[in-house]
Copies of this chain bind each other. A is one copy, B any other.
Amino acid sequence: MTKATIKDVAKLAEVSLKTVSRVINKEPSVSRTKVLIVEDAIKKLGYKPNLAARNLRSTKSYAVALVYDNPNPYYVIDMQNGALNACRDKGYGLQIHPCYSDDSSIAQDLVQLVKTADLAGLLLAPPISERADIISILRDNDVHYVGIVSGSKENDELSPCICVDDRQAAYEITDHLIKEGHTDIAFFWGEEIHKSSPERFSGYQDALKDHHIELKEEFIFEGEYSFESGMKNAEKLIALKQKPSALFCSNDEIAAGALTAFNAAGLTVPHDIAIAGFEDSPFSRHSSPPITTAKQATQSIAEAATNSLIHEIRPDARSKGEEKPKTIYSPSLIIRPSTTGKD
């Protein structure tokens, strides 16, 4: 079968190429009747529009970049896949741009990138999206962007953004541990530069407070979002005279590292110490025992952020009947044997 072209669609629909292109690009100024006729022709011919209409438009950029600084491949791939879902749907290409968020020239580099790589806009992952200094420079240079930010409400300094309510999910995990009978609950931090770290810590703090449980400084360990950091802090925890009976790790990699250290030291989870993580990455699913966690809908979040970005760039790109994407996402508690002992 020969592949249908945009010309075939125009011929079958009896409209001009330009009209087909407008329908594909979801531009206004095409009558409802014509939209239906063209959509019908596209369906009949099995024509795949994708980026095809672009040739008929010349100057506009049809690529956006995903900008991130994150060492976790599962998180990055989910983010990319979510962004790609939205990009493909709207006929955009996705460039990737991993970078170092502590690089002093990052904001200027991004402005330069947008100009020279001819990008329509940037999708910013945390922690870059959470740096008001970077955002301010992007705004000054009229760069289109949408960020993904840890928080329970929109933040004027960082918006437009999609929020992830880490605090609430951390509250629920801590509440779950307390209801399992624990009062001595340790906390392993991720990097402070990620807003998710203090947000998760604050959920932990609030849950303890609401249950009138005193927070013990010796149970709080600074660290990073990594397996190695989890192992290291678990070894320190094992050395404590008064050990906690439960541990809340700021993500699943930390939790998997801690679990490995506990196993090596002959401690049984959850009998000797219960463990919870965060993210629902394969680290929590593939460990033994599997680890209680909070499921982050990273892919949906990235898709929503990318849709927001494209609407920001081209308000006319919104599909008919398409609602404004949700702006606040809450990770949901997933209970597994690492805190209950039950399979």
Which residues of A approach B to under 8 Å, CB–CB?
3, 48, 50-52, 54-55, 62-63, 65, 73-74, 76-77, 80-81, 84, 93-96, 98, 105, 108-109, 112-113, 115-118, 227, 256-257, 260, 263-264, 282, 286, 288
Contact = CB atoms under 8 A, between A and B. Distances in A.
Nearest to A119: B93
Contacts of A96: 80, 84, 94-96
Contact of A117 (B62, B112, B256, B260): B62
B288 A52 contact: no
Given A77-B77, A80-B96, A98-B84, A50 B286 contact: no
Contacts of A77: 73, 76-77
Contact of A288 (B105, B115, B260, B286): B260
**A interface: dominant SS:** helix
Nearest to A55: B116
A234 B83 CA distance: 37
A336 to B, nearest CB: 15
Given A63-B63, A96-B96, A113 B76 contact: no
B55 A115 contact: yes
A343 to B, nearest CB: 11
A337 B258 CA distance: 20
7 contacts: A54-B118, A63-B117, A73-B76, A73-B77, A84-B96, A227-B286, A260-B286
10 smallest CB-CB distances across A and B, nearest first, come from: A51-B116, A73-B73, A73-B77, A93-B117, A93-B95, A54-B116, A52-B116, A51-B117, A73-B74, A95-B95
Contacts of A256: 286
A105 to B, nearest CB: 7
A141 to B, nearest CB: 12
Contact of A81 (B3, B98, B118, B263): B98
A62 to B, nearest CB: 7
A3 B106 CA distance: 12
Contacts of A63: 63, 93, 95, 117
Contacts of A81: 98
Contacts of A113: 50-51
Given A50-B116, A52-B112, A73-B77, 7 more contacts: A51-B112, A55-B116, A62-B117, A63-B93, A73-B76, A93-B117, A260-B288
A260 B289 CA distance: 10
Which one of A50, A52, A80, A286 has the highest number of Cβ atoms from chain B below 10 Å of its Cβ?
A286
A295 B116 CA distance: 37
Given A77-B76, A77-B77, A112-B52, A94 B93 contact: no
A142 to B, nearest CB: 17
